[in-house]
Amino acid sequence: MEIVVGGLIAVVNQSLLYWRMRQLKHKNILDPKQVVNLARVSLIERLLLVGIMLVFAMQRLDPLSVILSFFIINLSLAFYKQCQLKP
């Protein structure tokens, strides 16, 4: 169960990041200040949401398993996304 919960939290984290990246791409923001502000907002919202979800999961389940599954699945999703971007 810990692996599933950690994996779901990792998917939520990567989905929020991908959603913000698509917003940035569709708005055609070229001003560096706006890009930094959007990145800051994305970081804060993901940190809060994912952090709260991890805290609740670690209170109910084995903390080490939840954290390890979150990091492993999060890294694998990020690696998979990078492999898709390469031509």
pLDDT tens digits, one per residue of 12-38: 999 998 888 888 778 777 778 888 888
How confident is the prediction for the chain on average, in pLDDT? 87
- Give me the pLDDT at residue 71, please: 93
Using pLDDT thresholds of 50, 70 and 90, give the confidence band for residue 56.
very high
| Amino acid making up residue 25 | K
Q: Where are the domains of the chain?
A: 2-85
- Per-position DSSP letters for 47-75, written without gaps between them: HHHHHHHHHHHHHHS-HHHHHHHHHHHHH
The model's pTM: 0.82
Largest CA distance in the chain: 44
- Give me the pLDDT at residue 87, please: 61
How far are the Cα atoms of 55, 56, 70 from residue 21, in angstroms, in the given order? 26, 27, 21
